[in-house]
Amino acid sequence: MNGFRGMVSVLAAALAAPAAAAGHVDRLDGVRLSGTVRAIDDEAVRIVENGEPATVPLKDVARIQLAQARDATGQRSAAVLVTAGGDPLAATDLTVVDRQVRFRNPLLGSVALPIRQAGALYGAPKLAASAVREKCREMNLSRGAGDVLVVEQEGGNWLTMTGVLGDVGKDQVTFRWRGQEGRVKRSAVRAILFARVGEPPAATGTITGVDGSCIGFTGVSFRDETFRVEIPGLGERRIARKAVAAVVFHSSRVVPLADLKPTSVREYGVFETFPHRVGRSVGGGPLRLGGREYDAGLGLHSFCELTYDLSGAYQTFVATVGIDDAVRPHGGATLTISGDGKPLGEQLDLSGRTKPVRLRLGVAGVRRLTIRVGFGADELDYADHVDLADARLIKPAAK
């Protein structure tokens, strides 16, 4: 959610319009407008760029970036509540009473979330929530028809119980397991996976706080240094601009490349073959470029060639590409993207010593898209962990 390039502020515009937020607006097609965000309404985002007012129709906006966000899941001993929709929220003073999850959050303040909209709670002494979540994945734990309680025993083993969660207090957790109700010390609980109840509420976008917390919304506006956000289950929330890092809009015109299955795959290495990965780097870690972690995209390794059937349905291909942060400053590879056998733009020489590159290519009429990662100047595949972060295809706007 963090890591976009520097922001441009316009002093004259800031003096003329105190209710404004410096940052940039990314359109769906990859074009970036930097300047001062003055307002957001139902129709458009209004921005001052280089002293001149500009309007971006809301249907064309992909992201508004205002500040850099921290990683909410990476701080030790901090509890993180993940909503049913997958949004992480830093949580303090958390309790569960009367089927509501109550907690405090830097972005939203005091929250009372219906338990059906809660996905999981992660937290442990001296462990980051991300480490607890990863351990739960290693244990093949997932949400299902019942609540799952993960408890650490005195010997250090993690025990799981599937049943029905009762109340969660400051010191104890009430849990019905194998037909009997018992109490567990809160200090021993490492995670709670809440039972899956129906589909999560639909959202039209996501707002991210500077603390790294995220929450889906169905409506958003900005004026007088304040965001007004309509959140399913929570109603309207007013959030100060200084607490917001980014606003991301969902669009049916956007198709993540990872959602498409390649029709052809060629992969081999000099020493070892690393198969491409979806949503992860080829090393198995998160996609991370320039200090920013990306949820979506592809991890590739030299040599790799993926071909996709686009059927001429898209207009633009957009991605941020580079050598994954985990192996920098090592690594060097080439990236070539072609459409129907013809190069789309120039070959990129990627290095662990250079910054990530924002890629925007026209693919109108292209039926076959081929992405090729080749060996770099050293003709080896050592540390050639190439990320195509947030890689996406954009459909033409409806006429």
pLDDT tens, residue order, the chain (399 aa): 333 222 222 212 222 333 456 789 999 988 889 999 999 999 999 999 888 999 999 999 999 999 988 877 877 778 999 999 999 999 999 999 999 999 999 999 999 999 999 999 998 888 899 899 999 999 999 999 999 999 999 889 999 999 999 999 999 999 999 889 999 999 999 999 999 998 888 899 999 999 999 999 999 999 999 999 999 989 999 999 999 999 999 999 999 999 999 999 999 988 778 899 999 999 999 999 998 888 899 999 999 999 999 999 999 999 999 999 999 999 999 999 999 999 999 999 999 999 999 999 999 999 999 999 999 887 888 889 999 999 999 999 876
**CATH code reported for the domain at 11-65:** 2.30.30.100
Q: Please state, in angstroms and as integers, the Cα–Cα distance from residue 229 to each residue in 133, 236, 283, 362, following that order.
A: 28, 5, 38, 34
Report residue 347 as tokens: 């070959």
Measured in whole angstroms, the distance separating CA 323 from the mean position of its chain's CA atoms is 19
Please provide the CATH number assigned to the domain covering 254-394.
2.60.120.1060
The residue assigned the tokens 């240094």 is 225
Q: Where are the domains of the chain?
A: 11-65, 79-193, 254-394
Assess contact for 111 and 234: CB atoms under 8 A: yes
Distance between CA atoms of residues 246 and 294, nearest Å: 14
**Domain 11-65 shares a fold with domain 254-394:** no
Q: Which of 359, 390, 383 is nearest to 302 (CA)?
A: 383
Q: What is the DSSP string of 270-303?
A: SS-----EESS-TTSS-EEETTEEESSEEEEESS
Q: In one letter, which amino acid is 270?
A: V
77's tokens = 């001993």
H/E segment holding residue 168: strand 158-168
How many of the other CB atoms lie within 10 Å of CB of 148?
22
